[in-house]
A and B are shown apart, each in its own frame.
Chain A
């Protein structure tokens, strides 16, 4: 195993050169020269500073809303078609009613299928129509429920929309290289590098920002017969009765800007509707001059101005006793749009930039210290062979870093610890081989045969023993998160590279040395 073909030697040296080339691009001085790769190892948030936020979407309110809409549709069509039913109720995501007699069953299902298609079904494909709803019939009781497929689709749509809106909001606030990714079916990871105080983002990301314009209940009768609801007033915390009927919502906004009202010097948010919104708003204000309007954000009345004249331009302003910051935030929220479902921040990890710098320094110092200790020990234990091992150890780190660079993996503080640990463990491959060679030399006179046997016999042992650590690393990679993942990556890649260096570079050097000193007594 000590002989290498020219081709193999060429291959080893070329690959080393490539790794070196990638590795060296990580240093700042190479930035000046175009010939080096402009790719550096990604530093984790714990090293460069920044904020990690995990958001969770609560789908239930949306599901209840959808159920209620469907309930309204069914009620409407049943009443229109004079269908005879008893006890139509809904709860959470279930609608149920009783038939007067069983023969009505087909009629009922027909009507349900025709009811309010436009807001229940995601598409008009008739094939899918039946799949959105499942019904169960118990005697004359009919229970309707959204199908699993429908809920799955709803979740998918909701998270996609939410990600879009989170992205818009983050972009509005502006930060360098934010990363927004989906996790599972109802979570979003937001990573904001370089940010040491994410409170601004937290305030904005946790808000649904559903803006609604409705009329306050007035003495006049309920014209549309939809009913009233009580909503909390932001200013004094009291509950005020508001018409359930929606005039226009934030969906129709095209712009929102923070500003000041000249007379009162108060912070306000001015907004502008699109053409549909402007038309709706104009119609409603024309007929209701003198009535107070409720501007509702996330189930809280921000303000209730009285309509003094019809608003035909489609623009207006909200004054809700905001601070400048609140007005800015509201403008951002309105511009980015409302989330389809409420969202909560369930995990936050923020590292200040100076702590990150400290960590890098500590990491480097311990790396150098660890490396030197191992270096000295190996020379003490194995003399020249130990020196060879050290060279391949050094190459090992170079290859490890360049692989991380190449694959865009993230280096974290535990990741650095992983590299240092790999230094200690990678040397094991060499130790196994050298110890084996010592044993072989006791029964074998020829240096060449002894070392050849040592490499041969060690191979399987090394694979066996490294694979177990590798298994642990892979599991850690899949189940761990953030910094821990970084550790798993360096551990696994480090094992692979140490195997590579031991059986290529190291074997090449040792082989050359042994062949040149065939008959000398090798001391180690």
Chain B
């Protein structure tokens, strides 16, 4: 078994985390998120060209059409383009216009239209689902452990969530419904890690209620380190496979989960556990054992 002193630099790590969260907040509110069509409404059309064409040409062609507000960008391969507009115009009209204007065969691969009302509903339900998830996890931890553990777990989750969203703001990656799904997965995954460490802390507290708390917490972290790293490792291996081979549609989603697993693993060790130490937790868990028949 390893014998690292995880808590030695706890102040340093908490400071790093706090500033990362702080900068993420600033990024999210100043730079903002690159919201996908799910949330901001409008229409995206993914088209495939028969042969590669300069994207500027498509822009020029579209500016001659009725649409007055649009953006075009490459999507995965050079032949695939993504057109976004908030005009209510039929995608097949756009396709017909481009085909006529460019004299080039075009196939529509994907259309997503979200009305403004649906967009704001989706934002609302996304926020609700994340909050609901946090509350449910808080209550569950409270029920299974004590409120200090709940608090530590939730703080760590907030940390993971904010930093992941912050990275999306920083890199200007598209933020849509699939990213919300990824965030919820990160919540579930990160707390999973945390619970396993907490479980061990509790077990060690039962065995030994006299040693200093920091020693017990550190021992628990070392006990579980191998498992933490191995599981994070296998999960990372599988999600990195999706990131590399999963295609353009899943890229953002896979990226969020990959990033979230790394942050989540870190926070379980360096955030969730020190917080439990910070608040005084019940030391004598032995009573519980005596009560069991």
Contacts and interface: CB of A to CB of B under 8 A. Distances in A.
Interface string A356-388: 001100110111011101100110010000000
A199 B92 contact: yes
B108 A197 contact: yes
Interface stretch (A113-121, A292-300, A319-327, A421-429): A421-429
B230 A425 contact: no
Interface in A282-339: none
Interface in B128-147: 128-129, 132-133, 136-137, 140-141, 144
Contact of A484 (B180, B187, B247): B180
B236 interface: yes
A468 B246 CA distance: 26
A157 interface: no
B109 A468 contact: no
Contact of B238 (A345, A424, A464): A424
Interface string B239-274: 111101111011001100100000000000000000
B27 interface: no
Q: What band does the interface of chain A fall in when counting residues whose beta carbon is under 8 Å from B? A: 35 or more
A346 to B, nearest CB: 4
A414 B250 contact: yes
Contacts of A413: 249-250
Nearest to A467: B140
Contacts of B108: 196-197, 350, 352
Contacts of A365: 245
B59 interface: no
Contacts of A351: 109-110
Nearest to A484: B181
A274 interface: no
Interface residues of B, number: 70
B227 A377 contact: no
Interface in A476-494: 476, 479-481, 483-484, 487-488, 491
Contacts of B91: 199, 350
B132 A475 contact: yes
A349 B140 contact: no
Interface stretch (A243-251, A431-439, A500-508): A431-439
Contacts of B126: 479
Given A352-B107, A354-B107, A420-B239, A425 B184 contact: no
A431 B110 contact: no
B113 A348 contact: yes
A472 interface: yes
Contact of B189 (A381, A423, A469, A476): A469
A421 B237 contact: no
Contact of A468 (B140, B242, B244): B140
A373 B181 contact: no
Contact of A424 (B109, B129, B188, B239): B239
A473 interface: yes
Contacts of B61: none
Contact of A359 (B188, B237, B249, B257): B249
A347 interface: yes
A406 interface: no
A369 B113 contact: no
Contacts of B195: 461, 464-465, 468
A230 B194 CA distance: 70
Interface of B: 1, 46, 48, 90-92, 107-115, 117-118, 122, 125-126, 128-129, 132-133, 136-137, 140-141, 144, 177-178, 180-181, 184-185, 187-189, 191-193, 195-196, 199-200, 223-224, 226-227, 230-231, 233-242, 244-247, 249-250, 253-254, 257
Interface of A: 46, 54, 56, 196-199, 202, 344-352, 354-355, 358-359, 362-363, 365-367, 369-371, 373-374, 377-378, 381, 413-414, 417, 420-421, 423-425, 427-428, 431-432, 435, 438-439, 442, 460-461, 464-473, 475-476, 479-481, 483-484, 487-488, 491
Given A349-B111, A370-B238, A475-B136, 20 more contacts: A54-B118, A56-B117, A344-B115, A350-B111, A355-B46, A359-B249, A362-B247, A366-B246, A366-B250, A370-B240, A374-B234, A378-B234, A439-B223, A465-B193, A465-B199, A468-B141, A469-B189, A471-B136, A473-B184, A475-B132
24 contacts: A56-B117, A199-B91, A348-B113, A350-B108, A350-B110, A352-B110, A354-B107, A373-B237, A374-B238, A377-B237, A417-B242, A421-B239, A423-B238, A431-B227, A431-B230, A431-B231, A461-B199, A464-B144, A465-B199, A468-B188, A468-B192, A469-B185, A476-B184, A479-B126
